[in-house]
Amino acid sequence: MAFITLNKDNFFYNLNQIALKIGSVDKIALVLKDNAYGHGLQETAGLAHEFGICHAVVRSRQEAEQIRSLFDTVLVLGDKAVWSDNCSFVLNSLEDITAAEKGSKVELKVDTGMHRNGIPMEELPKALELISERALDLVGLMTHFRSADELGSELFWQQKYFEQVKAMVYEAGFADIRIHSRNSAATLRMNQCREDLVRIGIAAYGYNELASSFDRVALKPVLSLYAQRVSTRQLKKGERIGYFGDFTAPKNMIVSTYDIGYGDGWRRGDSTDPYITAEGVPILGRVSMDFITLETGEDEVCIMANAQKAAQHFGTISYEMSTALSPLIDRIII
């Protein structure tokens, strides 16, 4: 069966680089949403705990339940706020505040310019009033940057708005709250961090998505994807492979099928512009639901060892390459 390896040394190396950058391990909140960007929620959470990470970020309560015993705090990005001793919930709108269970720990997300989620700055006074009225336990204040990974001033004006937001929240009498705004790109781009947390996703998994014009911290990919040989056959010159026979053998050749396909979250791609595996072997013909064909007889092949490189081929981003991988594939820590 196809399998995924997680390189523990590389993961710890990345976490260490981030800790060095911000001057502390304690400030790292590791983003484990969407099956830890495809790396495996349980496996990644276990490793993070071993490294000494105290804070996690997930998408749903269901994810939080699976890992919350390993962390001091777990921030849930997209689910209804309920009471919990160590989970807090992001409030993205006034409706979220109204829906939150009394006494639940909440963190207010303010929209400082990304215009995706979060309370608009004009609604902030109303939001703070509602939070008090509904006796919610406000433990955090956050925002999200829309283009921290691009050159330009956008990040800086969003930061300026966030300063205003902080002042308003303190003025309203909320004191003991943690402040956080930085994702991987903002963390890698800026020096020092006076805030209480950084929310690190992609960088921990080994990808620095900053443009090469930035002075970039080198990181190491954690995930590799392998497939195993299903069958091998001898093709004669002119014989064609797979659906629609997109690939025609230019010579007599020995080919094998391997057990990975679009059903596993691997990309189907375009057979006229074949993906070349981490070991330099092009995929022949169309990708099937469960199989690909390669000109090799190896029992095991490495399909992808660098999601950023693969993403370039498919015209997407490293995040999508790893996150798409089926949770049913075994994750093995090496």
Ligand X SMILES: *Cc1c(COP(=O)(O)O)cnc(C)c1O
Pair 142, 90: CB distance under 8 Å:
yes
Toward ligand X, which CB reaches closer, 150 or 295?
Answer: 150
List residues near ligand X by CB under 6 A.
31, 33, 77, 144, 183-185, 199-203
CB of residue 214 to ligand X, shortest distance in Å: 14
- Is 33 a known active-site residue? yes
Phi, psi of 232 (to 5 degrees): -130, 140
Extended strands (E) in the chain: 3-6, 28-31, 55-58, 73-76, 87-91, 105-111, 119-120, 137-142, 178-180, 198-200, 223-235, 240-241, 247-248, 253-258, 292-294, 300-304, 330-333
Query: What residue number has its CB nearest to ligand X?
Result: 201
Toward ligand X, which CB reaches closer, 39 or 286?
Answer: 39
CB of residue 67 to ligand X, shortest distance in Å: 16
Nearest-CA neighbor of 181 among 209, 155, 208? Answer: 155
Catalytic residue among 27, 33, 105, 109: 33
Toward ligand X, which CB reaches closer, 221 or 285?
Answer: 221
- Is 220 a known active-site residue? no
DSSP sequence for 81-145: ----SSEEEEE-SHHHHHHSPTT-EEEEEEESS--SSSEEGGGHHHHHHHHHHTT-EEEEEE---
Question: Angle at which helices 124-133 and 154-171 pack, to 10 degrees?
Answer: 40
CB of residue 146 to ligand X, shortest distance in Å: 11
CB of residue 272 to ligand X, shortest distance in Å: 32
Toward ligand X, which CB reaches closer, 4 or 185?
Answer: 185
Q: Which two tokens stand for residue 233?
A: 């056959």
DSSP assignment letter at 205? T
CB of residue 91 to ligand X, shortest distance in Å: 12
Tell me the one-letter amino acid at 320: E
CB of residue 142 to ligand X, shortest distance in Å: 7
Catalytic residue among 102, 126, 237, 243: 243
Sequence length of the chain is: 334
Pair 255, 295: CB distance under 8 Å:
yes
Toward ligand X, which CB reaches closer, 68 or 144?
Answer: 144
Toward ligand X, which CB reaches closer, 111 or 264?
Answer: 111
Catalytic residues: 33, 243
